[in-house]
Every structure is written in structure tokens, then in C-alpha cells.
Structure 1
């Protein structure tokens, strides 16, 4: 991921508009467009693109922590990162990136409501739910209610994580009412043009809202006394969640040229000149073993083989002399880095389907849990185009039929998931962890903190200087926040990132 998520107002089909003032900017350029004179539709479009840039993979540090990626032997290991002795500066990028997107969405909503464009406002509100939830799940209590009132309150107080969750459900209620408001022909045409995610597909926006609502519910599965029924009823009544072929992604016109490549591909695959875009990003041998041990054909979709189907990974945290070099280890694969023009995902279809499978397993939603789980796995194979032995659906069916898998390895047949709800939920979450490789590491990390579904600790750093044998359960408050909002950070007290659990963590 880029260290700084830039808000791009100039998009190919809209025309050239200069960069907009960001939430955390400290300097003002008199020749630069500012909030007051930038139309809300380009802000909304830019927020969609920034969301996709932010979502493309998630924080790279987590990719390495969670056993997906590693650093080849050409480079010295980062002692702080691989020992989990995390400096506060580590958190700057995810904090700034999420709040920048949220500020753009806030501007788009506010400006749209000022001209009675409830549809654009509602879409902005739906997206904002995701990024506020991510902030809560990464940090705990965060600025929420007063965050964008910097002219009145430049040092906003922190709101309780559980209170923010409760309010996000209400935000979705209002947002869904807004997005289903009537539009005239002119408004419809303008909205369709600005919506680089769906081209004006209101049904899909409703399904994204439902998916985010389910995500909020699933995260609270281990909270004593939590009753998801009212929220699940709203999901069912509003058309359900994103399903097969309904990935929520954007494409403003990506091209294989400087500053125009699809963000994930441009960050982790190849430059327009064909050079390695990230020489420090290679396959993690832990995940390579998981895929190899189950003869999983997704192996060559998550990682690029060095030859034939041979994939070589690195050991995270090992001395550089003990790891293969960049030329001797595998880059990210063609399943996730397909081309410079690929769509940039915000929420993949299969991820939504895994959420639904767990909800059905828990008895929250109607349906057959095994069928829902298998549909999610199949959709992941289709999304990756994993077709080593046949069409993706056939490869997925083979993977889930343990009797046809002579190499054993992780149990992928739902019939072997155990008999309790807890064991089945962990089974689904573990399979989701495999499916999210390189795609949404935040969700995998949150699942680990919620269910501890990974059966061993092979993903833990090999660095003997590590300060813990478990991953942090949250990020520390970032250095930039400690410097600009010190009193409110201090009011949160001293938090141990290994034991300072969030309200939803058991």
C-alpha cells in the first residue's frame, strides 16, 4: 500500500480538477482547490477511488504478520516489525488513510444534502460505515462524532468503540432510506456518471449496505447478550448481501501507464516498464505450505511460480541469510494482480458470502450452512480464476471433497467441521483466512482476534528477539495523533497492544 492515500479528484472521464484539501492537511496553497469550491460529485468519485486504493490488500505489515507475505533475503529484516515491538509511527498510514477517505465522504454527503441529493449522500454514508468500523477495530475508541468539526473543535474527543458500533447501525438505516429516494432524469444521469463503482446500480448499493451491516453483526458474535435479530431482519428485508458476481469494485479507466495503473497491480506487481513494483514483497512460506499440503490449486493464483507450479516462499522474521533472494522467491500471483487495468476491489463477492455462511451457521439467517460455505469457496476460486485442473468451480469442488484430496492437509470438507456452532464458525473463518490471502488482511486479523481460528502459530515471526508469541490485537494510537491531539490520547490511558482487547474480543 502507498504510505499516503492521495485523494484524486481528476478522473479520466470527468476531466481535470486540481487536488482537494484533505482532512489532515496543515498547509494551504492559494492556487489549490479547497472544500468550498469543489463540486461534491468529483469528491464522491475521488472517495470511491481512494477507498479502492486503501482497500487493495490492506496494511502490508499485517500481510506479513498474518502469514501471507514476507521479505526476501536481499533485504535486512525490520527488527521492530518482526519482533512486534511496534513504534507509534507504524499506525500513521492506516489512521490518516481512513480519516482522509472519511473526510471526503463527509464532504460529499454534506454537499449533496445541501442540494437535496439524498442518493449520493446515502452512498457516501454507506461507505463511511466500513472505514469507521475499521478504525474502531484497529484502534478501539477513536474520534467519531466531532471529528470533522475542526473549525469548532480542532482536538476532538474520543468516542467509545461500542457506542460507535451502535451508531453505525443507525447510519445505515438513514443511508438506505436516502439511496432509495427518487431522482429525476438529470440527477440520475449525473449520479450514474459519478458512481465509478456500479454506474448507478442502487440495488448493489443496498446490498453493500446490508453486507456492512452483517459485518458489524458478525464482529460481535462473541459479545455476551448481543442480539443480531433486528439487524438481520433488516438485511433480509432489504434484499440480502453481495453474492456471486457482485463484487463491489471501481475502475475509473485504469491503464498501463505512470500513475494510471490499477492500484494493487501498480503497488505489488509490475511498473509500466515491466519492473518489479515491490522488490520487498514475496510469498510467505507459511501460507505456501498450507496451500501445498492441501493440493490447493489457488497456490499459483496467490503467488507467481518460479517455474511450472513451483512456488517458493520466505520465512517471516528469519535472518536475511536464511531466506531466498527476491529472484529465488515468488511474487504476488496473477489471481490478485491480474493486469494494470483490473478493477480495484472495495468488497469482494466471496468475502460477503463467507460472512453469510457464518451467519447461517450461527442460525442468524435462513439457509443451508454447508451450501453457503461451498458457494463462498467456489466464488473465491472464480474470483481468482483458479483453473489448474478445469473450470474454477470444478477446482473448488475438488478442494472441498476430502476424499479426492490424496495429500490431506487442512480439512476443507464442511462435513468435518465439527458438530458445534463454535467449531463450524471457526472452520468457516479459517477457510476465509485462506481465501483472503493478499486481498483483505484486516478482515483476517479481526477474525483471528475474534475466533482464534488459525490452528497453529506457524505464522508467528521467527525473530528470536520478538517480544510476544502472539500478534498484537490492536494498533497503538499513531504518532501524528499523539502530537496533535495529545490530551485526548492521554485520556485513553496506557493500552497494551497485546492484551488491550476491544469490546468484541473474547
Structure 2
């Protein structure tokens, strides 16, 4: 099927050109500068290219986050297509979802490292240096969470170190926490005559350096919350002195938009272009291929959650229907199983939310509940849900969210919940649907929440639970053979990311 080919191939050269090119709001020029000559690119153009690439990798579902949306109970495969047994039976291989490695290392991190190299010795470029340090940490975290040991200390040194060693995940986490501190220090210590980030090239925060610092602290929060079960001392130390005002708050989404439009497929928002509609308003193949998962549909339905109709479309009977992941029921055609909904597919020009405010608030709520930061967990939870409703375009979002949270339901009402941590992380899972399924995956690996997350029912599935990690891509076994082979046999079911209990 063309669907499967699209999902498993590396990013095409056309897409590489799109996301490595310079772009600015209003023009979105995909041809300048030349991505094959990064040394000739000024920091402002390279920044816009790198941020646009970050959005692509974070929000293009096909080949990147597809597996997490499927495994975390958000998506199921269409009953009208076949050829997805590798994913449905958890038999991932070194050709599965390789963009998470190849594209991130070869395009995204190369761009940010280029900014770091060109700005580290010029104090007037401190803002560019700081942002690049923060964004490198953002992507290296995800690589560890997906693969565990990865090249880090010797990475991104092509021509000097062509076969980088693999560092253990714990070493990388320690390094990226230092990178975040370095980035924050650079921004906050920038001299008065430092070059400002041009708003039209800073396609995430429009040159607002205070927002960059909040984002950096939020990325740090997300990193150290993964350590709660194995290295709580580091979590507490890294968050010492930080409070709710230091993180992304209400209305403060980390959202990238270089000028997305419907002018052509290359200029559309990456999520819309991947699983939404073409410029002529035809359904993309992936829009037909990914359907509502019965697990999520039942959760939202059982708890009177109006987000159900934002995450998923209704079928001809006016209801939302899901499909069990791995089902082979031949009667479950697209006419009776719901598609991805208008709350997450709002327009081809919509923002790419790489760290929405509601995710930050849920992280803060758990941290406050554990006593790591100042703040009231119940109030942070309330704000998080309100922000989730807001970003999905729910009518009268605040009132609807408050009604949802004041039900006589221990799953939605904080005051009625027994285990507050499980409660908060369950609600975070409910909000992260299609926004950040990898963080949901991490929470499941860390806490086994949701505890009822089902295993695929596809014939031949024998795994007791969903996979823990991805396998290194074939490119590593070919080009960095000795170092990749030194990692031994990768066990995606029983292996662990270093921070797992």
C-alpha cells in the first residue's frame, strides 16, 4: 500500500529542502538559503530553518509520531487498508520510524549546531547561541527517550569525528541540563548591544527572550520529571528555586509558525499536511488511514468529555466511533469509524504546538503535587484543562472545562481523586492526544499510566505490553557500524530507557 511506503521511507529530498530552508512569516521561501551550504547562512535564516524543521519532526505524524499515537491509545489503523502488521504486532525493525533519528541528527541538530559554532565566540550573538543550546537539548532529550544510548559528546563533528561513540542516556541527560543552563545564562547575560532575534525569523516566540527562558525552564522540567522514579535527588536539585512563574503559563504556547498557508502542500502546517487535507481540500491518504482508537473514545465518552468531538469526527449517525488497535474486523470501514477531528485539524495555517501551555501546566501540577516546586496542584490542574479546551477550540472553553472538572467523578474532579499523581498523569494523557504522544509514552514508561492501556489484538501479537523504545536505524549500522553494534541486541519490549524504574 502507498500508505505504508510513505510511513517507513526516510524523508524525501523535497521535504528536506522545505524544512531546512530559510523562511519568514509571510514569505515562507523554501529555496533560500541553500541547505547544502550552511556556512554561508546567517544565524537569523538558519534559526528560522531550524525551528521550522523542529516543528516538522514534532508535528508531522507520518513516520515520526505515528507509533506513539497508535501505541498510546489515540489512533487505530483503518479497516479499509492493510500492510501495517509490523507496527500492529510490535515487530519494529531498523527501518521503522527512522526519521526520528536520521532527520533529527542530519538536519535539525546540524542546523542548531551551526548556530552554536558561529555564535559561541561573539557575545553580541548571545541570543542566537542561547536559543540553539536550548533547542539542541529539546531534541537530544527526545532521542534519549526513544533510543536510550545515543551519540552526544562526539556528535555533530563531521570531518573531525566521523564515527561518534554512543553515550549512555544518563550522561546525555546531564549534558543537556547543562546546555539548558548555558542557554539561559547566555540570554540573560547578553549585553545591551547584543543582536536581537528578528521577530520574523524567530518563528516561535517572535524575538521575546523572556519567553525563551520560560520555554527553557519548561523543557528542563519535562526532562527531570522523567527522573522521578529513579533519581529524585536530581529532579529536586534542578528545580530548586523555580516556581510557577518560571515556566510557560496560561496562553503561553511554544508554537512554531513560519507562515503556514494552503498555497501548496509544502507550505501547509505539517500535521495538517500529513493527516489532514490537500490544498484542493481532498483527504490525504493518512487522513483516511488513521482512525479513532476505541480506548480513547471510550475514555472521553465515559467521562462526559466534550473534547471527544474535537479529537475525532462523527460518522454518518452523528456519533464518534473508535476501533480497537489491531482489530481485523472487516466490517469496520471508514464509514463507521471516526476520522481525526476538527479540533486538531483546524486549518492549514494553524500553529505547530511543540510544547503547548497545557502540557507545561500539567508538568507543573505533578511537580507541585510532589513538592518539587511552589504552586498549588489543584489550581495548576484546573488551568491545564482549561488550556486544553481552549487550544482545541471548544465552545465557551473555560466554562466547559470547569463543568468537566466539577463532575462527581474521581477521574475528572481533583478533590475526589485518591492517588493524585495517577489522576494528574491520566488527565495529562487525555489532553496530549495528537499534541505530544511521545510524552504520554514516556509517562506510561515511567508510571504505567494509563494502567489499562491495551495491547494490540492483531493476530500473532505476543508482547505483554507496548514497546519501550525504537531500534537504531539502518543508517547507523551502515555508517557507524562499530559503535552501533557495540550497543548489543536492542530489545524494544523488555529493554529500558535509563530513567525507567
- Match in the other structure for 2:402: 397
- Match in the other structure for 2:429: 433
Cα distance change of structure 1 residues 246 and 227 upon mapping to structure 2, 3 Å threshold: same
* Alpha-carbon distance in structure 1 between the residues aligned to 2:336 and 2:50: 38
Displacement of 1:431: 0.8
* Alpha-carbon distance in structure 1 between the residues aligned to 2:222 and 2:371: 15
Displacement of 1:342: 0.8
Tell me if the contact between 1:122 and 1:175 (Cα under 8 Å) persists in the aligned partners: yes
Displacement of 1:77: 4.7
The question of 1:161 aligning with 2:164 is answered no
Q: Which residues in structure 2 correspond to 1:310-321 (within 5 Å)?
A: 310-319=319-328, 321=330
Q: Which residues in structure 2 correspond to 1:40-79 (within 5 Å)?
A: 40-56=43-59, 59-79=65-85
The question of 1:38 aligning with 2:41 is answered yes
- Match in the other structure for 1:251: 257
Deviations 1:362-391 (A, max 9, x none): 01111211111121111111111222xxx1
Displacement of 1:236: 3.5
Deviations 1:322-355 (A, max 9, x none): 42x2233222111111111111112100001000
> Which residue among 277, 281, 290 is the counterpart of 2:290?
281
Displacement of 1:469: 2.4
Displacement of 1:186: 8.3
Cα distance change of structure 1 residues 309 and 203 upon mapping to structure 2, 3 Å threshold: farther
The question of 1:446 aligning with 2:442 is answered yes
Displacement of 1:39: 2.0
- Match in the other structure for 1:500: 495
Cα distance change of structure 1 residues 8 and 263 upon mapping to structure 2, 3 Å threshold: same
Q: Which runs of 5+ in 1 are unaligned?
A: 23-32
Cα distance change of structure 1 residues 147 and 310 upon mapping to structure 2, 3 Å threshold: same
Tell me if the contact between 2:27 and 2:259 (Cα under 8 Å) persists in the aligned partners: no
The question of 1:261 aligning with 2:257 is answered no
> Which residue among 216, 220, 225 is the counterpart of 2:227?
220
Q: Which residues in structure 2 correspond to 1:33-432 (within 5 Å)?
A: 33-56=36-59, 59-99=65-105, 100-116=107-123, 117-182=125-190, 187-188=195-196, 191-224=198-231, 226-236=233-243, 239-258=245-264, 259-277=266-284, 278=286, 279-307=288-316, 309-319=318-328, 321-323=330-332, 325-387=333-395, 391-403=396-408, 411-418=411-418, 423-432=419-428
Displacement of 1:165: 0.8
Q: How many residue pairs end up in the alignment?
A: 480
- Match in the other structure for 2:3: none
Cα distance change of structure 1 residues 16 and 93 upon mapping to structure 2, 3 Å threshold: closer
Displacement of 1:10: 3.6
Cα distance change of structure 1 residues 10 and 44 upon mapping to structure 2, 3 Å threshold: closer
* Alpha-carbon distance in structure 2 between the residues aligned to 1:168 and 1:113: 17
Cα distance change of structure 1 residues 113 and 309 upon mapping to structure 2, 3 Å threshold: farther
Say which SS state the counterpart of residue 39 (structure 2) adopts: helix
* Alpha-carbon distance in structure 2 between the residues aligned to 1:351 and 1:195: 22
Cα distance change of structure 1 residues 225 and 65 upon mapping to structure 2, 3 Å threshold: closer
* Alpha-carbon distance in structure 2 between the residues aligned to 1:153 and 1:353: 40
Q: Which runs of 5+ in 2 are unaligned?
A: 1-5
* Alpha-carbon distance in structure 1 between the residues aligned to 2:99 and 2:482: 21
Displacement of 1:448: 0.3
Bigger shift: 351-360 or 225-234?
225-234
Tell me if the contact between 2:73 and 2:453 (Cα under 8 Å) persists in the aligned partners: no
Tell me if the contact between 1:77 and 1:317 (Cα under 8 Å) persists in the aligned partners: no
Say which SS state the counterpart of residue 89 (structure 1) adopts: coil
Deviations 1:25-48 (A, max 9, x none): xxxxxxxx4122222221111111
Bigger shift: 480-489 or 114-123?
114-123
CA RMSD of aligned residues (A): 2.2
Tell me if the contact between 1:427 and 1:453 (Cα under 8 Å) persists in the aligned partners: no
The question of 1:488 aligning with 2:483 is answered yes
* Alpha-carbon distance in structure 1 between the residues aligned to 2:407 and 2:29: 55
Bigger shift: 171-180 or 130-139?
171-180
Say which SS state the counterpart of residue 379 (structure 2) adopts: helix
Say which SS state the counterpart of residue 144 (structure 2) adopts: helix
Displacement of 1:19: 6.2
* Alpha-carbon distance in structure 1 between the residues aligned to 2:376 and 2:483: 47
* Alpha-carbon distance in structure 2 between the residues aligned to 1:17 and 1:63: 29
TM-score, normalized by length of structure 2?
A: 0.91
Deviations 1:238-272 (A, max 9, x none): x4110110001121111112111111112111111
- Match in the other structure for 1:30: none
Bigger shift: 336-345 or 201-210?
336-345
